[in-house]
Structure formats: structure tokens, C-alpha cells
Amino acid sequence: MLDAAPKSVLTRYRGVLAGCLAMALICACAGPQSRPGDEVAAAAAPPPAEPLAEPTDEEVMYRVFAAEYLGAEGDLQGAVGEYLEAAIASDDPAIARRATRVAFAAEAWQEAVMAADRWALLEPDSVAAHESATAAMLQVGDYLGAEFHIMRILDLMEDSTEAWLLVSGLLSGSADPGLADATLEHILSLRETASSGDVFYARSQLAVRSGNLRQAFELAQQAVEENPRRIEFLTWAGRLALNLKEPEAGLEYIRRAWQLDPEDHDLALAYADLLARTGDADGARRIMREMTQTPDVMLSRILFEIAAGDRQAAAALFEEFEAMEFDDPEEQAYYQAQAAEALDYRRKAIDYYGRIKSGDRALAAAIRRAELLALDGDVATARSELRDLRLQADELTIEESWLAEARILRETGDRDQAFRLLDEAVQQLPHSIPILYTRALLAAELGWVDAAERDLRVILGQQPENAAALNALGYTLADQTERFDEAEALIRQAYILQPNESSIIDSMGWVAYKQGRFEEAEQFLRRAWQLDRNPEIAAHLGEVLWQSGKQEEAVKTWREGQAVDSANPVLLETLERLGVVF
């Protein structure tokens, strides 16, 4: 799947809608469970590596080049072997780190153990190295080896809360929860300096990952008893109580956390939302009224009333907000603009965004104002204001204005004009990766494979490990040409770099489907769909299921995709091409 164009650095909304945090509290424990090892692989996969320095030893150099060649050809197992040999022969931790990453991507766990162990030996103070070694060892059932590396992590992180949470996350990847808990118990017996509250907290999180919510709640309660003023312990206990359908207990823990820090806006809003969810909407409103009435709190109150279905109250609060004066009028205007958008007062929102002329929010406000002008039908003014932005010397502003104008043109249906505009942008900023990438995606969307490939190859010339560009090029070749082997090699390189990115996993499935490997395709696409309810992934998974004779499940998947976005072009094209009507 083509990943979205690079996200703008602009922040459109601050995200202070009353209830968002509480929804996260309520839902955090109830999400779908990953297959064993996925969480750990995500947590422990080596960080993106800087480009390797050229090895000086001829044998090591040969092994590294051979590994890179095999990886580019899609032979991950061969690449794993060559990199492991290079790591063993070299004292360079970067080579061992790279070997670890490739082994994780190939799910070659024995080799991952050896590579990560070598990395930890060469870079003993690296938490990431010990983290990777632990994860790999748990995959092969080497609990004693995992314990050694866990002890080093705790030493390096000084038994901090973060260290214990990291350890619980690693142990949750074990295929045997009993052995994982026994390992943790033994580690605890050796850690005299560990805070019992932190330990109970970590064990509670491990119990959640093992699916035992009741035990997790009991451990969380013990953590609170040990440290009754630790807000994270209280909110965690509250989350668990809510997931166990014990709203009164959950509300009490969140209330206690809020009382410890009533000025924490997110915590206060979470408490208010829980009051509303338990039938005390007036109590929720009281909490928000008693908060310091900053611009972001006023926005939160307005959004709360909208969510509660009381538009009249929201409109009244907006009028009150307009009559207020704050020390920073531009900050006030920023939140007033968002409130106006929420109430669908588009012209007011346009006006408020236009009042923001300086500071960190100025660029975000200018871009959003242009987008709203376009939505309001005034594309000419929107484009004119974006062109005016480009008169500034700031390269980021220039880049963002080009991207925003192209986005407006595309969304109004003028994709050819958007592409021509990006041609101009590239002439002004020839080295801008976001502009090149956006032009490439648009070219692929238009079916101009040569143009898309040209831009993506330029990006890869500058950034050979740009996973998004590797995936975009591979997917485009798989979807619009018959260069399947080349496409798969590119996508596999992206997969090595980001093995838990849903768009890349989708591409892995799609190229396997294109080559007739339906079972493998289904496995990848199911995983992608689990990670990201994207209608394009639903289109791909549904097609594989349909062609595999699983028509009923295919229709169910497509319906789920339609529920997310019924107008998704890939989903619509798939149904039309296959002649499916339901």
C-alpha cells in the first residue's frame, strides 16, 4: 500500500476534546491481542541505524556487501547469514546492530540471538542491544539468557519505573506466561534496590499482556497501596477497574489522581468525562468550570458540549469565549478558530486563523486558513495566500505552502494541475524530500509509473534507507507493472527497516498475491488489517480472500472497510473490477 504523503509538521488540532483521554484510559486494555512476539519485536527491534562505515577488513567487507546484495534481491535468509558472519568477524557494533535488525525482519530467531548477543558484547552500555537480545532469547525459550540481559537493562536504567515497564513489555512476548512470571519473580529476588510499587506496577502490566485483568487489577491496587500519591499508579488502577466493568472503583481512582494534581488539564478532562459516562454530566461540567479558564480549556468545554449533543450550550460557550480576553490574543485566536470549526462556523474560523501572525502557530494557522477557504469554495484566494507565504525566506514555510496548495488542488479534483504545481515546487526546492515524495505519490495515483519511479529513485539516491520511498516504489511496481521480483526486493528492504509498519506489511501481502502466493499474502494482509483499519488494506485482504474461495469472509472485510470510508477509491475499484455487489 502507498503510505500517505509525509505528514505536515503543522499541528492542526491540539486534541483536547473532553473524553479523548478517558476513552484512551477505557480502551487501552481492551484492544485486540497481537500474536506472540509482535509486541516485543516492535519494542525491541534495533533503532534505525546510521549508514555503516565502510569496513576495513576484507572478509568483513565482503560479508557486508554480500548481505546488502542478498537483501536487495529479497533473500532475507541469505542476508541474515552473511551479516551474522560479518558481525562475528568484526568488532564494529554497528554491523552487529544491522545483523540483529535483519534477523528480526526475517524472524530468524536463533540468528537474532547470536547477533544481538554480539551487539550487546560490543556495546555493553546500550539498552537497545540488551533489549533486542532479551526479545530474541524469549522467542527461542532461553529464559536464563534473557534474565541476564534484563538484569543489565535494570542496571543501566537504575531500576526506574521506565525500566520495569520495559522489562514487563519484553516478558509479555514470551510464549509461556508462567515461565515469564517465574523469571520476573526470580529477577525480583535479586533486585534489592527496586521499589515495590514500581515492581507491582510492572507486574500488573505483564498480567494485562497475559490476558489476566483480574490479577492485573489486584497488582495495581498493591502498587497504589505502596505509593498512594503516584498518579500513574492511580490512573492505571482506574483503567483496569473500568475494563473490569467496575465503574465506581475506576472513577474513584481517577478522582484521587485528579485531586493530587487538579491543574493537570488532561487528567481533569478525563475525570470529567468519566463523570459524564457514569451519569453525572453536571458533575463533569462543574469540574471543567472550576478549572483555570485558559483558551484550551474553553475549547475543551465547547467540544465536550458538542460531544454531549448540546449544541446550544456549545454555542453559548463560544459566545462567552469570544467575549473573554487573555494575555496572548494570538493563542486565544488559535483555540477560537478550532472551536469555530467544531461548530461549523467556517467564516469565523477563517477570520480567527487570519489573526495569528507570529509564533509557532503562525504557519499552521495560515495553512489551515487556506484549506478552509478552499473548502468554502474560494480556491483562488486560498492559492493566492499560499503564494504569498512563499515570499518568505523560511524554507519550511515555502515547502509547506507548496504542499498545501498541491493538496488543495488534488482534493478539488484537479490532479493534473496539482502535478504541474509540484513541478514548479521541485524547481524551487529540488532537494525537498517531502515535495519529491508527494509528486511521486500523485504520479502513481495518475498511473504515471515512470514519473513516480524517477522521483522515488532520486529520494533513494539521497536516502537509501528511506523505508517509505522503498515501499512506495515497490508497491507501485507491483500494482501497476509486472516487475514483481524487483518490487518484492524493494518492499522487503522496507520491511527490514520497519517490520511493524502496516502499509509495508500490506505491500508484502499485495506483492505475494500478485505472484500467486495466496496463503502468504493472506497472512501478511491479516496482520496489516489488525494493525490498521485502513479501507485500502480491507480492499486487498478482501480480494485475496475472494480469490481464495472465502467469499463470505471477503464481503465481511469489505463491509468493514466501507464502514471506515465508503468512498475509498481503491476499495471501490476493487469491488467494480471483481463485479461484486452487496
Q: How much is the pLDDT for 48?
A: 45
pLDDT for res 25: 35
Cell 458533575 locates to 283
H/E run at residue 144: helix 143-156
Note the pLDDT of residue 188. Answer: 80
Q: Exposed (0-12), middle (13-18) or buried (19+): which is 21, by Cβ within 10 Å?
A: buried
State the residue for C-alpha cell 500500500.
Answer: 1
Reduced DSSP (H G I as helix, E B as strand, rest coil) percent helix, strand, coil of the chain, to 5: 75, 0, 25
Query: What is the structure's pLDDT at 570?
Result: 94
> Residue 53: what pLDDT?
54
CA distances from 385 to 365, 405, 414, 528 (A): 12, 10, 19, 40
pLDDT the model gives residue 4: 64
Residues 455-461: contacts with CB within 8 Å, 24+ apart?
A: 459/433
Contact 206, 184 (CB under 8 A): yes
Spell out a b/e string for 168-182, using b for 16 or more CB atoms within 10 Å of the CB, else e: bbbbbbbeebeebbe
Residue 202 contacts residue 164 (beta carbons within 8 Å) = yes
Instruction: Delineate the domains of the chain, giving CATH numbers in brackets.
Output: 37-46+54-140 (1.25.40.10)
Tell me the whole-structure pTM to 2 decimals.
Answer: 0.69
Residues in the chain predicted with pLDDT less than 50, given as ranges, are: 6-51
Instruction: Give me 236's grid cell.
Output: 492505571
Q: How far is CA 275 from the centre of its chain?
A: 30
How many CA atoms lie less than 13 Å away from 228 in the CB half-sphere?
A: 5
DSSP for residue 414 = -
pLDDT of 207 reads 81
Contact 466, 460 (CB under 8 A): yes
State the pLDDT at residue 30. Answer: 36
pLDDT of residue 379: 96
Phi, psi at 478, each rounded to 5° = -70, -35
Residue 550 is which amino acid? Answer: K
CA-to-CA distance for 291 and 276, rounded, in angstroms? 16
Q: Summarize pLDDT for 227-259 with one digit per residue, the tens.
A: 899 998 999 999 899 889 888 898 899 989 999
Nearest to 300, CA basis, from 12, 10, 21: 21
Place of cell 524472524: 107
Cβ neighbours of residue 176 closer than 8 Å, sequence gap 6 or more: 141
User: CA angle at residue 522 from 540 to 512, to 5 degrees?
Assistant: 80
Are the C-beta atoms of 333 and 349 separated by less than 8 Å? no
Query: Contact 255/44 with Cβ under 8 angstroms?
Result: no
Secondary structure (DSSP) of 187-216: HHHH-TTS-HHHHHHHHHHHHHHTT-HHHH
